[in-house]
Structure formats: C-alpha cells, structure tokens
Structure 1
Amino acid sequence: MPKKLAKSNTFSTIASSASDLSTASAHLLPANLPPILTDGGPLPKLFVFDLDYTLWPFWVDTHVSGSTLKPVPGSNNTSVADKVGEHYSFYADVPAVLYALPLLGVRVGVASRTCAPDLAREMLKLLHVHPPPPAQTQQQQQDDYGTGSSSKKKGSSSGGGGGGGSGSGKPRKAIDLFDAGLEIYPSSKLRHMEALQRRTGLPYGEFLFFDDESRNRDTESLGVTMCLVRDGVSWSEVARGVAEWRRRKAVSALADGGPAE
C-alpha cells in the first residue's frame, strides 16, 4: 500500500457561540470539549472538512479495493470493510466532533477532490456516528486543555473509529451530519468553497476549513480560514482552528475600524 497509509493515527482525550445552548443539547455534548467552544466567544458558522487524511487516514480512491463496502461485524457501524477485508474508519476524535458541531448550531460541509466520489459517499453512509460520553466539568476541561496541546497515542493505520460512547443521543449516519452539503469531485478547492457559499449564503469569513494539503491555502484568497492538519482532525486541531479564525476576525474588525469581537 502507498506509504502515507502507514502514518500514525491521531488519538486525543477529548462549534456560532455555545453560550446559549439549551439544557437538552448541552447534556449531549461530548466529554473534554475544548473550552474555546463553550466560552461564549464567536465561532465560525460553517466548518468544512476535507476527507482523505483529514476525517479518515487513507485515500479512498487509492487504498480501498473494489467499489462496494460493508460494515465490519461487531463494529457497531464504526468501521467498514472493502472487498479484500481491509477495515476503514474515521480518525479517533472525528465522530465526536461531527456529533457535537450540529448541537452547537454550527453547519458542516465537505470539500474533497477524490477521484472516487461515489465510494466516498458510500463510506459516509455506512459509517455511523454514535453519541460520545457526556461533557465533563469545567475543571476537567481546564486540566485537559490547560497547555493547549493534546495527548497522542499510536493506533492502527486505518483509524480508530471512535464514537461508540455512552451518551444518551441516537447514532446517525455520518453523511446526514453534513447539512451544508457535500462537494466531492475532482476540482479546485476554490470551486468547492464557491459551491458551499452559494448553497448556504454564508460569507467566506464565516468558513473554517480543515485540510491536510498546504496547496489548498489558496482558499484563503476568498476570505476562508484554513487550518492545516497533519495527522487528521482532533479536538486540539478544532481548538487551534477556532483560535486562528477568531484572531483573523479580530484583525479584520480592527482594519474596518470596528471593535474586535
């Protein structure tokens, strides 16, 4: 298999403002949410994710054999197998991230240039996102994120799946969580962003985009904030991305002569 598949998986222990969350939504949020997501400050209105080596640790058009997938028995729909029996799943924190963002009133979309869009969509249909463990206390959050870094453990190259927590919500197909739409086709990420903007009507300044390729920073010419990830999306990467988005928002406000939020 291509070398990149052998990269270590990313595990860590743990989206508009969350200050007005209803009690019903708040108790469904996962444990160890980064404090920046619930501190009452502004959050991007749209989170956009690449797929390969961002949400999952493989190239879906290269590593996955065949055109059909099936759930791995006993995985609770958190892992799928291709025709030769290889297993594939999300990076460890991804299910909790995808589950939490809609609860926080944030819209979520996909921007992927994979050459196997149908297979990518099928994987998103078959992989389920389960309720994560409920939120911890504020002190536990500070203990986990006081240094601004996350712990990492080595895992299998095909991802840890995750998301099989004991929260009281219902599991959902991953594809159903991307309410802003799926832009999955070979093209420029600029075109993907433009399509998402037309669909949502949101300004580019409200986009936070996670991708593993530095060349896709060209999306920032539109006003998008891009967070470059090297070992997949984790809670720490989400916190880092939001912090950078806020920094740029404050700089933009000052440049326009208004108060920084």
Structure 2
Amino acid sequence: MTDKVDQYYDVALSLVKTCGNLISEHINGCKSFVLKSCDIDLVTEIDKKVEDTLVGGLSKAFPDHKFIGEESVADGTKGELTDSPTWIIDPVDGTMNFVHGFPHSSISVGLTINKEPVVGIIYNPILGQMFTAKKGQGAFLNETQIHVSQVKEFATALVTFEAGTSRDPERFKAVLENYKILVSKGHGVRTLGSAALNMAMVALGGADAYFEFGIHAWDVAAGTVLVREAGGVVIDPAGGPFDILSRRILSASTMELAEEISKNIVQFYPERD
C-alpha cells in the first residue's frame, strides 16, 4: 500500500506544482469572479481551471479513483465518500484573498483510502509554501520536516478562526460568541482566510489550534493529514472523533489543548455534507 500511496502522491504533487502557476500569475489579485451562495462566496475562472487540471491529470493516471471537488459539487455533482481512493480537492482555498491579492490562498489536495485521509498537499504558490504529508511519513514544509508546537493550555494558545461565508443567523451568533471567548481566554486570534492554511499553521507550530463550523471536506482533507503527521490532533469540536463530512473541525497541537477548547466554545451543528 505504501508504494501505491507514494505513486499517487508523486503524480498529485506534480500536478499541484503546475497549477500553482495559474495562481501566481495573479499575485496582485484576480478581479474577475462570480458569486455563488451569497455576495461573499466567490468563484473565479482560476478555481475552475485548477480543479479541471487536477481532476483531469489524476483521472488519466488513476482511472478507477473517485473525486470530490469544491467547484464540481457547486455545479451540482454529488460528492460521495466511499472506500475507494478518493481525491478531495479545493482548487483555490481562500478565494476571497485571491480576488483581493491578499497572499494567503492555497491549492488543497487530500486523498482518502477506506474513507481515511492518507495524503495531504497544501500549496501557497504566491509565498512559495509547499506543505506535504503522507500517513506514517511525517509532515513537511518545502521538504523540511515540521512539528506542532506542543502548547497544552488555552491561555497560551494562538488560535486561528474564521467567520466563514455563511450568513445563517444561528451560525453567525456562534461565531461572535466564540470570538469573544477566544479574545478573553486565549493568547491571541488570527484569521488567514483559508482553512487549509490555518491547518498548515497548526502543523507548522505557528498556530496552536484551529476550529470552524461550516467548512467542507475539501477545506480540511489535506490539512487533517498534515496536522496529524506533524504530531497534532484533529477531532470534532465537541470532543468526539472527527467526521470529515460533518462540516465541523477542531485541530490542535495537543489533545489537552483540544479538549480545553472544546469545553469552552459555543457549538454549532451545520447540515452534513
């Protein structure tokens, strides 16, 4: 199985590097976009080109593999997670950043086998950050191995956190309450505008935790492998096992920190994918 995963990873990494050129050509922003679910949920032609390139290349190399992609799901394709090797793709995670030229956008590619994340690639081509991980083989930034911070207490934790694109009143209420909790109980709060990069920062040790309600599998599939291979934990925000289709996630440097955060934050349960 390891040899097969290595082969899958090598093909995906080559494609991700190629797609990075599409993003880095727009270092000052991409002003051509359309709206999806609301006026802050955006998609550009680059999103579609990157996803088409990744799915096309991986399909050619591995015809029996399955795919769940953000833009294909948005266009009406049903994303189903089975035991088959399944690529879970966010072509531009952080589209709002990409549109404005804020340099925190990434290509996020995760692979699940038997519904378990085993490969994660997160690439921010504008800043030249290539985060990679394979199950059992460690996590890396530009080929240098990385590790989580080992912070165990909420009071000394730097937490990444997102408002998200949903305008749901109940979710918005939970976001505001949790922001107050983070400011009052934590060491600091950061918002990168990309779930994948938030998780990459936890893996790197630059942030100590990240949680969000309302994300999708393509936002966190790659980051889950990265955080776990860097020595961190990924669980449900209420403290149970992580479910990649639940649209809920809490990742942290240590289980102690994850459990303390889960006991303090306000919970919200969006509709599952």
TM-score range, shorter chain: under 0.3
Of Structure 1 and Structure 2, the greater strand share is in 2
TM-score, normalization by structure 1: 0.26
TM-score, normalization by structure 2: 0.25
